[in-house]
Amino acid sequence: MALLIFITVVLVVVAIAKIMRSHELATKLNGDQEDFVSLSEIKTQGFLYVLFGVILFTLIGVQMYAWGKYILPSSASVHGDEIDNLFDVTMNLILVTFFITHTVMFAFIYKYYQKKGQKAFWFPHNNKLEMAWTIIPAIVLLSLITYGLSTWSDVMYQESTKDSVKLEVVAEQFKWTVRYSGKDRELGKVNFSTITGSNALGIMTAASVDSSLVDTRKQIAGLERSVKELDSLVEHGWSGKEDELSDAESKLSAFKANERRLLKFQKEHAKDAAYYRGSEDDVIVRDTLYLAKDRMAEFTFRSKDVLHSAYFPHFRAQMNCVPGQKTYFTFTPKYTSEEMKEVAASEGKNFVLFELVCNKICGASHYKMRFPIVVLSQKDFDARVATYKTFGDEFAGK
Ligand SMILES: [Cu+2]
């Protein structure tokens, strides 16, 4: 099939080339000038330009009208209104400029197409015009940039409030996990060396450090056995085992470094309950991100592997999740999920669910990184989070 299409395309191209060539030859035989364009042809071109302009504007208008409903509904966060205003101002400026300049362009092409007895006007330079089209765009752009920067600082630097929700969003290939600070309103310490099967976020408590040490030592014992066996195979001339051996050796040294780290935590903080305070009552939620209406959400973001980006389209917020460092963002939801349905419906837009999506192509299953967000009233929010076990209880298997 593909070959057939290919042959057809080639034949069509050859046919067009042949037709053009025969047209050329015929023109030559008739003694006509090859590059002569008649006045009536120029008139047709001028008319076609205007027609093109009208079709272009009509299509733009139709698209804006027909697809407007797919644009996000009004912002669901307090700061989002500022972002929307910035967007609207910029977009309106661009649209007005576009329609004016393009209308003038199409109109002038038509007005000044070549006519009999009409001479072109020689107009090489005008200082005033040069100044005008340099200074006006410069002022407009500077104003837009200043407006954008002030919006940015308003959005990014917000004072923490007394009743804010402190939470952490952890990204990894290919899922999100949420951790709330619990009753003490403090997110407990985390460290990668305490990550195990039962502590995927690496939260540090006295118990999780102990358990990670047990785990690490098991790994070390296993690796030491492998290294010994591989070593003796290599020594006896078993070819092809060298890579496996060096692999096992580097893993072993990594686990030993982890053991040292964990021993240091044990030694320094064994009797220091304050060090781990904040972790025990943290609450991990794996299926939904709950937020409270009118209560500021103070996010910390982490990534366990590659760059991800936490994008909250309805709240006009996005922040990169960077392996090896924490990033922060703050916003205050202003509608519950139920209220948002009414807001969207009143604007003729479709709304099912708030969602958090990954906005960095982070691997083969990137598309799976969608996470539902439910905004509840403050009372319902507190009640919902209270139904989850604290990390301390969860880890102890209670
Ligand atoms: Cu991702």
pLDDT in tens, 128-177: 999 999 999 999 999 999 999 999 999 998 888 888 999 999 999 999 99
pLDDT > 90 in the chain, percent: 60
Q: What's the full length of the chain, in residues?
A: 398
Residue 348 included in any domain: yes
Say how far apart CA 61 and CA 68 lie, in whole Å.
10
Are 362 and 293 in the same domain?
yes
Ligand 1 centre distance from Cα of residue 249 (Å): 32
Chain centre to alpha carbon of residue 220: 39
Boundary of a domain, candidates 223, 252, 276: 276
Are 240 and 343 in the same domain?
no
Boundary of a domain, candidates 227, 246, 276: 276
Domain, as residue range, for 304: 281-395
Residue 70 DSSP label: G
Are 146 and 41 in the same domain?
yes
Query: Which two structure tokens, joined as six digits, stand for 203?
Result: 């939260």
Query: Which two structure tokens, joined as six digits, stand for 167?
Result: 């939470």
**Confidence class for position 253, pLDDT limits 50, 70, 90:** very high
Residue 196 DSSP label: B
Q: What is the mean pLDDT of the chain?
A: 90
**Confidence class for position 279, pLDDT limits 50, 70, 90:** confident
**Confidence class for position 277, pLDDT limits 50, 70, 90:** confident
Structure confidence at residue 35 (pLDDT): 64
Q: Is the pLDDT of residue 180 over 90?
A: yes
Are 324 and 376 in the same domain?
yes
Q: Read off φ and ψ for residue 183, nearest 5 degrees.
A: -65, -35
Contact, 395 vs 201, CB < 8 A? no
Ligand 1 centre distance from Cα of residue 364 (Å): 10
Mean pLDDT of 116-122: 83
> What is the rounded radius of gyration, in angstroms, for the C-alpha atoms of the chain?
33
349-390 pLDDT, tens digit per residue, is 888 999 999 999 999 999 999 999 999 999 999 999 989 988
Ligand 1 centre distance from Cα of residue 394 (Å): 27
In terms of pLDDT, which residue wins out, 171 or 69? 171
Q: Is the pLDDT of residue 268 over 70?
A: yes
Ligand 1 centre distance from Cα of residue 178 (Å): 15
CA distances from 195 to 199, 210, 326, 333 (A): 5, 12, 17, 32
Question: Cα dihedral angle (375, 381, 386, 390), rounded to 10 degrees?
Answer: 50
Q: Is the pLDDT of residue 114 over 90?
A: no
Mean pLDDT of 237-246: 84
| 3-class secondary-structure state, position 194 | helix
Domain of residue 128, CATH code: 1.10.287
Are 196 and 289 in the same domain?
no
Structure confidence at residue 160 (pLDDT): 86
Are 80 and 123 in the same domain?
yes
Mean pLDDT of 184-199: 86
Structure confidence at residue 252 (pLDDT): 92
Are 300 and 250 in the same domain?
no
Residue 130 included in any domain: yes
Mean pLDDT of 269-289: 84
Q: Is the pLDDT of residue 120 over 90?
A: no
**Confidence class for position 15, pLDDT limits 50, 70, 90:** very high
Residue 152: CB atoms within 10 A of its CB come to 13
* Number of domain units in the chain: 3
Structure confidence at residue 376 (pLDDT): 94
Ligand 1 centre distance from Cα of residue 197 (Å): 21
Mean pLDDT of 233-260: 88
In terms of pLDDT, which residue wins out, 277 or 339? 339
Residue 187: CB atoms within 10 A of its CB come to 20
Residue 387 included in any domain: yes
Residue 379 included in any domain: yes
pTM, two decimals, is 0.79
Ligand 1 centre distance from Cα of residue 255 (Å): 27
Q: CA triplet 343, 345, 348: central angle to 5 degrees?
A: 120
Ligand 1 centre distance from Cα of residue 369 (Å): 6
Ligand 1 centre distance from Cα of residue 354 (Å): 18
Structure confidence at residue 32 (pLDDT): 61
Are 360 and 323 in the same domain?
yes
Are 300 and 265 in the same domain?
no
Are 246 and 322 in the same domain?
no
Most confident of 156-160, 275-279, 340-344: 340-344
Residue 21 included in any domain: no
Are 266 and 298 in the same domain?
no
| 3-class secondary-structure state, position 15 | helix
**Confidence class for position 266, pLDDT limits 50, 70, 90:** confident
Are 120 and 207 in the same domain?
no
Structure confidence at residue 237 (pLDDT): 80
| 3-class secondary-structure state, position 188 | coil
Of 237, 179, 193, 248, the residue nearest 392 (C-alpha): 179
* b/e burial code for range 368-393 (CB count within 10 A of at least 16 → b): ebebebbbbeeeebeeebeebebbbe
Residue 373 included in any domain: yes
CA 81, 87, 91, 94 dihedral sign is positive
Mean pLDDT of 325-331: 94
Boundary of a domain, candidates 254, 276, 298: 276
Ligand 1 centre distance from Cα of residue 173 (Å): 6
Ligand 1 centre distance from Cα of residue 32 (Å): 65
In terms of pLDDT, which residue wins out, 30 or 13? 13
Domain of residue 379, CATH code: 2.60.40.420
pLDDT > 70 in the chain, percent: 98
| 3-class secondary-structure state, position 197 | coil
Say how far apart CA 291 and CA 49 lie, in whole Å.
54
Q: Are strands 370-376 and 289-292 parallel, antiparallel or unpaired?
A: parallel
Say how far apart CA 254 and CA 248 lie, in whole Å.
10
Residue 164 DSSP label: P
Q: Is the pLDDT of residue 46 over 70?
A: yes
Which range has the worst mean pLDDT, 8-17, 99-108, 197-206? 197-206
Q: Is the pLDDT of residue 393 over 70?
A: yes
Q: Which residues surround ligand 1, an ion (CB under 5 A)?
A: 308, 358, 362, 369
